[in-house]
Amino acid sequence: MKNRLLLFLFLLPLLWIGTSNSHDWGDDFSQYLLQAKNLAQDRPQTNQELVFAEGELPYAIVAYPVGFPILLAPFFDYFGLYIPPYLLLNAFFIILTTLFLFDYLKRSFDIKYSFLIAILFAYNLISLVLKKEILSEFPFTLLLFSILLLIKSDRRKSFAFAGLLAGFMISIRVSGIVILPALFGWYLMTQRQFPLKKRLVDCAVFSALAVTVFYLLNVALFEIDLKNFLGFYADQFESNRLMLPSNFFSFFQKTGEAIFPPLQSTLWTILLMIIILTGFYKKFKEGGLAEWFFIFYLLLIIVYPYASSGLRFIYPVLPFLIIYLVKGIQTIYQFITSKEKSFQLLTIIFSVSIFLSFRLFFSLPNPDGPYSTDAHSALNHIRTNTPENAIVLFSRARALNLYAERKSTFLIQNKSEQENLTILKKLHCDYILYADERSGAFNQSLQDFLMINKSEYDTIYKVDRFLLLKMKTELSQ
């Protein structure tokens, strides 16, 4: 308890670091808040305010699984679009996850190593940067470590409760589904001291409870349109195919940037891969569930065709990567010196890493998003000076829907300017909100569209980096 209290005190600064009334333009957080708003106002989860072109691939899904919006709904009901409470919720998740990680680490490390790894997880660059955004990865990682702490191979009650948590974890991020094959692989292949019947029953109970919780939350109680959700990601895979080599290397490259932010070289990435894979091999031989989860999760994210969000995808397994890094350094150090004195070396490495992370983090500009002065003015103008049934084209469609409270649409990326113009005519689009090159909402395709179709709109409002354009009557009717 004394060690937990000391760690908790070390983590308290997270409540202040990065907490501000601002957010970037990322559309995912807008979707989460839209669904939280729907819950708070007792409306369906599916967002019907995004206007899709008939027969075209959708720009976004109509609803994410309901787990994260359920957690956000009480905050939205009380605070609305005031951002600091949501960022404080992030800090709470990180602190609690770090405390759970500390308890998990004590199974295979002594106190000083456990403390060191926990601190690096909480204060590395990935955690600090992502903490400034409303992301489902935070509660997802907390639930993951809750499950890892609960699972005990000789207690069926632990499997049952962990199965319930797994259902909620999958309802937060569907990538959590990999806990099911991970559990089967770990329990059936490594826990052979138990009868096969017991292992099969325990796995069946865990899986049945997880699937039941997911079904109740996302079909029976709150309909998220699973067909649309699964179809959207199936289309993404179909249109992008597999990108295994680039995603695999990118995974470790982003990890390397988190450990030592200024280092972004191929040599450093390869060296880090060698150390981490060495540590993974040593940990895998210990027969833990976490390593099975890591394998399946890694397979999932290296085949997913969206490497640009690697920081988010890495976060749930970042604790394992740090553990493997420590284990790898211990193994290599002991092989070279035949002694176990790696703690001093790791303390130096991790201290420098945290220092560099803080230095880079505090040099980053404030997020450019809907809370900037000019963006707020443009969105407020749309909300107060356009018809309630207006359709607005914007590069961040869900953010416009959330903040301007208007139906929104977007350009189809694989269509020409003339094809998109035809689509907008069919949709009866009324307005276009354009963000120039200085804004984080800038979109090159939208700029090209406007350059080609200058005769199709009039400028009716201008504020610094934003223009509001009115489509010609024959286009919007």
Residue 309 confidence (pLDDT): 58
Q: How far is CA 231 from the centre of its chain?
A: 20
pLDDT over 90 percentage in the chain? 54
Distances (CA, A) of 368 to 243, 245, 292: 30, 32, 39
Of 97 and 250, which is predicted with more confidence?
A: 97
> 463 pairs with which residues across the strands?
466
> Is the model's pLDDT at 224 over the cut of 90?
no
- Average pLDDT (5-24) is 92
The single residue listed with the structure tokens 């990935």 is 126
Least confident of 339-348, 361-370, 456-465: 339-348
190 token code pair: 């490594």
Mind listing the pLDDT tens digit for each residue in 81-90? 999 999 999 9
Tell me: pLDDT of 47 over 60: yes
DSSP H helix total and E strand total for the chain? 22, 5
- CB count, 10 Å around CB of 386? 20
pLDDT for residue 143:
97
Give the model's pLDDT for residue 75.
96
Q: For 136-160, how does the pLDDT look when each residue is reduced to its tens digit (9 = 90+)?
A: 999 999 999 999 999 875 677 888 9
Q: Is the pLDDT reported for residue 402 higher than 90? A: yes
Q: Which phi and psi angles does 470 have, rounded to 5°?
A: -100, 125
Examine the pLDDT at 237 and tell me if it is beyond 70.
no
Helix crossing, 84-105 with 111-123: angle to 10°?
160
What is the per-residue pLDDT for 244?
61
Q: In this predicted structure, what is the pLDDT of residue 242?
A: 56
Q: Is the pLDDT of residue 308 over 80?
A: no
Beginning with the edge strand found earlier in the chain, give each strand of the sheet holding 407-409 in spatial order.
Answer: 407-409, 391-393, 431-435, 466-471, 457-463
Mean pLDDT for the chain?
87
How far apart CA 470 and CA 407 sit, in angstroms, is 15
Q: What is the pLDDT of residues 155-212, one digit of tens each?
A: 778 889 999 999 999 999 999 999 999 999 998 888 888 888 888 988 999 999 999 9
Taking alpha carbons only, the member of 474, 386, 377 closest to residue 453 is: 474
Q: Per-residue b/e over 270-294, b at no fewer than 16 CB within 10 Å? A: eebbebbebbbeebbeeebbbbbbb
Q: What is the pLDDT of residue 149?
A: 93
- For residues 465-472, give the mean pLDDT: 92
